[in-house]
A = this chain, B = another copy of it.
Amino acid sequence: MVVKERVRPGGRSARIQASVHAAVDALLEQMDRAELTIPVIAERAGVTPSTIYRRWGNLGELLSDVAVKRLRPAAEPADTGTAKSDLLAWAEQYAEEMSSEVGRAMIRDVMASPTENNAERCCGYTYEQLQAISDRAEARGEAGLDVEAVLDLVVAPIMYRILFLAPPDVAHCRALVERALPGQGQKRGG
């Protein structure tokens, strides 16, 4: 079931993995995920179902893999001038992306697999993004971020509310950031 660091990751395996992932991506835009099955994916990918069963085990593991791949951030966090405004911009975008139906579905998929550590990888991406904001702040001469604290104070509440309560609005994101970085970098470092 371990897809990464396979024993024989050469050409064919990688090609099939890419083909299957692409098939899932394409099919998720055409049909409801309730009617997405492994035979359907296999046909679209030009692969035998048994190949998918042997490599991923079941649909959940496959969707988990696809989701964690899609959750990887494409770019660095936007540079808005200060650590606080960077964090605010990042948090707002993060909340919006994760609140969407596809976002929630991806989170569910990532967490669905008990064996894989996809959830940890997903959090790792977040950690890297926050670290990037912190590093950039220090390069400017600002104070860096306590990334662990930001996880607790900003990221965790956003995720919790999306999953268990209701998607946080922009005002709430702002309040979370304000609590994490009280009175810091207000328009111009006071």
Q: Which A residues fall within an 8 A CB radius of B?
A: 33, 104-105, 108, 111-112, 114, 119-120, 122-123, 151-153, 155-157, 159-161, 163-165, 176, 179
Contact across chains for A120 and B165 when beta carbons are under 8 A apart: yes
Contact across chains for A164 and B120 when beta carbons are under 8 A apart: yes
Question: With A and B bound together, what is the CA distance between A184 and B34 in angstroms?
Answer: 49
Contact across chains for A108 and B105 when beta carbons are under 8 A apart: no
A165 to chain B minimum Cβ distance, whole angstroms, is 5
A160 to chain B minimum Cβ distance, whole angstroms, is 4
| Chain B residue with the shortest CB-CB distance to A121 | B164
| Chain B residue with the shortest CB-CB distance to A33 | B114
Given contacts A112-B108, A153-B153, A160-B151, contact A123 B165 (CB under 8 A): yes
